[in-house]
Structure formats: C-alpha cells, structure tokens
C-alpha cells in the first residue's frame, strides 16, 4: 500500500519530525522512521541542498528526504555540470519514485548579447549547447532545459532584435524537438537583472507564438513577474498555452511563500484548477537558518498548498 494511504492531512503540520524510508543501496540517509507527510497537491520542487541540515549533501539522500516530506519533484539549475554517473544516478532514483525534474540551465549568460544578434558564430555556439542538452535529456529522461536570450542591443531597433531571437529559437527548437527536449525561456525582472532582452510574460508569449514549436515554451518565474508586472493570475491565463514550468519565490526577499506580498494560496489554487501536473521550482531562499528554517519552509508550502 502506498505511503500516502497511511497518512492523515493533519500530520502534515509535523513535517520533518521523522526521516524517510526509501531504500537505496548507496544511501547513508537514516531509514528507521516512517514518512510523516502526505504528498503535496502540486509538484513543488526543492533544489538540491534546500534541506542540507536535515538530509546532508548527498543528492540521493536529498531526493529521499524530499519525497518522504511529500514533494514529488526536484530542480537543479546546475544539473548539466554534474558528472555523467551522478546525473544518471539522480535520474534513475527520481524515475523510481515517480518524481519529476525541473529545467536545468542550458544557457544563461547575462553579460552578452546573443540571440538578439544575427551572428553565425554565436548561433553555432547556441546550436552546440542545445545538442549537448539533447544528449543529456536522451540519456537521463529529463525534459526541460532553460535558456535566456541574453542582453538587448542598444543600437538596433527592437523589432529586428525580436526577429533575430525568433529565428534563432526556431533553429534551436527544431534540434530540441528531434531529441525530445523542450527549451523554456525565462523572462527576468529589470531591477535585479538590468539590460536583459527578455523581461515580460506577454513578450515571451509572443516570441513562443512566433517560434511556433512545442519545443519552445516559457518558465514563468513568479518572483520576477511580480516585480516586473504583477497581475500574476491573468498573465498565467493569457500565456497558459506556452507555459512549460514555473519558478517560485515571494517578493520582497525571494524567500518561501508567506514571507512577502504574493498570495501563493490563490496562485496555486488557480494553477491546480488548470490540471497542471508539471514542476514548480522552489528557486528561493529561506527566512530562517538551520533546521528551524527547513521546517518553516515545509510548513509554508503546506499552508500555501491548503486550497
């Protein structure tokens, strides 16, 4: 019988009082206590290291801990840089537990103009990046790879820059589609990242429609979009057909839900109403340090998930 059948919702408020039961031959994580949390309604995805005080640094131990606390996804921006053996091990264990992995960063150079230019050398660099990402996805079964178009050009008309971005992404998406990988574009706020080309949901939606490929979608970062434009739920609704994944973080502070001004309970309720079953990456910090902060993080998601 599945773990969730043994657990009442009220037990969720006692998160991380006990540790996990997952059995993995190479794991050193304690396995003598049962899980104490039902699965979350949505696939919130902690980053590796979010619970280092409770689970240690081993990635498999982190997967087990997160799964035993009710999480059904993980994310790792730096997955592409891990050794091949470690990538395979992580992917295999997550598949065994029916957990999904959020987008890994494929290309995000905030210091250079890239997709906005019609430059053969830059285009080839991006093609090589996508081909490398495709090989990782083929081997591990991962799906999403995150890309940022880079900085805007101060001397070129915005329309030409947009056209160059669309043309570049059409080529990259054709390569990605053949390998079963989806590129997700992340618009970022101008306050934290001045000078970048991609900033808003409507802008990114228009680019994805121009590319017109199932391999080119949006990662909607709730933190960035609250700063850039707010109007979160209407923008999610308007962009829904092109959203592939979400990033999370409250504003101000970029910490867990409830630490700032965003009504995450309402946002999560709306996303769930759309039948969404993919990943919401917890790309944020914690308000408190140590195990106390890790407990508070889980409790914050329990509260926001109570809709």
Beta bridge pairs of residue 73: 100
Q: Give me the sheet containing 243-247, strands edge to edge.
A: 43-45, 279-281, 243-247, 216-221, 182-185, 144-147, 104-107
**Structure tokens belonging to residue 115:** 């997709």
| C-alpha pair distances (Å), 177 with each of 57, 153, 282 | 34, 29, 26
> Which stretches of the chain score pLDDT less than 70?
1-37
The helix-helix angle for 120-140 and 158-178 (nearest 10°) equals: 30
Gap between the Cα atoms of 55 and 43, Å rounded: 20
pTM for the model stands at 0.88
122-141 tens-digit pLDDT? 999 999 999 999 999 999 99
Task: Dump pLDDT digits (tens) for 35-60.
Answer: 446 999 999 999 999 999 999 999 99
Phi/psi at 155 (nearest 5 deg)?
A: -115, -5
Angle (CA) 293 253 269, round 5°: 80
CA quadruple 124, 127, 133, 137: dihedral sign: negative
Record the tokens describing residue 113, joined without a space: 């103009």
| 233: its two tokens | 């739920």
* Closest CA relative to residue 140, chosen from 206, 199, 89, 68: 89
b or e along 124-147 (b: 16 or more beta carbons within 10 Å of the residue's beta carbon)?
A: eebeebbeebbebbeebebbbbbb
As a whole number of Å, the end-to-end CA separation of the chain is 26
* 42-304 CATH choice from 3.20.20.150, 3.40.50.300, 3.90.280.10, 2.40.50.420: 3.20.20.150
Domain boundary assignment for the chain = 42-304
pLDDT the model gives residue 37: 63
**pLDDT confidence of residue 12:** 38
Give me the helices (H) in 70-149, please: 84-96, 120-140
Q: What is the dihedral of CA 230, 232, 234, 235, to 10 degrees?
A: 80
């Amino acid at each position: 019988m599945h773990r969730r059948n043994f657990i009442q919702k009220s037990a969720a408020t006692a998160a991380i009082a006990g540790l996990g039961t997952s059995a993995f031959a190479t794991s050193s994580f304690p396995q003598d206590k049962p899980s104490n949390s039902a699965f979350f309604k949505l696939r919130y995805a902690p980053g590796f290291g979010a619970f280092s005080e409770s689970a240690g640094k081993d990635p498999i131990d982190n997967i087990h801990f997160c799964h035993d606390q009710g999480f059904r996804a993980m994310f790792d921006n730096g997955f592409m840089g891990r050794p091949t053996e470690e990538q395979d091990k992580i992917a295999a264990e997550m598949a065994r537990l029916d957990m999904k992995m959020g987008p890994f960063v494929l290309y995000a150079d905030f210091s250079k103009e890239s997709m906005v230019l019609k430059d053969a050398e830059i285009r080839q660099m991006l093609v090589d990046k996508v081909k490398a990402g495709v090989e990782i996805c083929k081997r591990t079964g991962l799906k999403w790879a995150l890309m940022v178009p880079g900085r805007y050009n101060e001397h070129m008309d915005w329309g030409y820059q947009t056209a160059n971005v669309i043309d570049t992404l059409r080529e990259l998406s054709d390569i990605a589609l053949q390998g079963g990988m989806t590129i997700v574009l992340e618009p970022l706020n101008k306050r934290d990242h001045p000078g970048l080309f991609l900033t808003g949901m409507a802008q990114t939606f228009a680019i994805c429609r121009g590319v017109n490929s199932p391999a080119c979608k949006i990662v909607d970062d709730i933190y960035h979009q609250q700063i850039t434009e707010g109007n979160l739920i209407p923008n999610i609704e308007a962009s829904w057909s092109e959203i592939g994944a979400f990033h999370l973080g409250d504003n101000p502070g970029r910490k867990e839900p409830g630490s700032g001004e965003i009504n995450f309970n309402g946002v999560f309720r709306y996303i769930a109403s759309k039948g969404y079953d993919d990943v919401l990456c917890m790309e944020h910090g914690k308000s408190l340090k140590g195990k106390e902060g890790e407990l508070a993080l889980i409790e914050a998601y329990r509260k926001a998930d109570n809709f």
